[in-house]
C-alpha cells in the first residue's frame, strides 16, 4: 500500500521520476537513489512480526536458525537497489 502522502510528494516535484515499490516489488530494479520507509518493527513493520502458517514449514526444505533470516535477506534486496545512495 502506498503511503498516504506519496502523490503529494510526486506532484510537488514533477521533474523528478519518483516511484513507489515494495521490497518484493523492487527485485530486479535499480534507481540512483532509494528511500526506505516503514522500517519500524511490528505486525506490519520491518521485520514483519506476522507468524507464518505452520503448514508452510512442512514444505520448506530447511529451517533458518537465525532470527528474521528472510527479513534480513529482503532488507539486503532493498538496500542493494540504489546505484548511488540509500536513505533510511
Q: Is residue 40 part of a domain?
A: yes
Closest C-alpha among 53, 80, 55, 49 to residue 67: 49
Please state whether the predicted TM-score (pTM) of the whole model is above 0.85: no
Question: How many domains does the chain divide into?
Answer: 1
| 30 pLDDT higher than 80 | yes
Give percent of the chain with pLDDT exceeding 70: 89
Alpha helices in 13-79 (DSSP H): 54-59, 69-79
- Tell me the pLDDT tens digit for each residue of 33-52: 998 887 887 776 777 777 77
| 87 pLDDT higher than 90 | yes
Residue 44 is part of which domain span?
A: 6-87
Q: How many CA atoms lie within 13 A of 63 on its CB side?
A: 7
Amino acid at each position: 500500500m502506498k503511503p498516504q502522502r506519496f502523490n503529494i510528494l510526486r506532484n510537488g516535484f514533477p521533474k523528478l521520476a519518483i516511484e513507489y515499490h515494495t521490497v518484493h516489488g523492487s527485485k530486479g530494479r535499480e534507481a540512483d537513489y532509494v528511500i526506505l520507509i516503514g522500517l519500524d518493527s511490528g505486525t506490519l513493520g520491518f521485520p514483519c512480526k506476522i507468524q507464518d502458517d505452520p503448514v508452510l514449514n512442512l514444505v520448506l526444505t530447511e529451517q533458518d536458525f537465525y532470527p528474521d533470516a528472510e527479513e534480513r535477506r529482503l532488507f539486503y534486496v532493498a538496500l542493494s537497489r540504489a546505484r548511488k545512495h540509500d536513505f533510511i
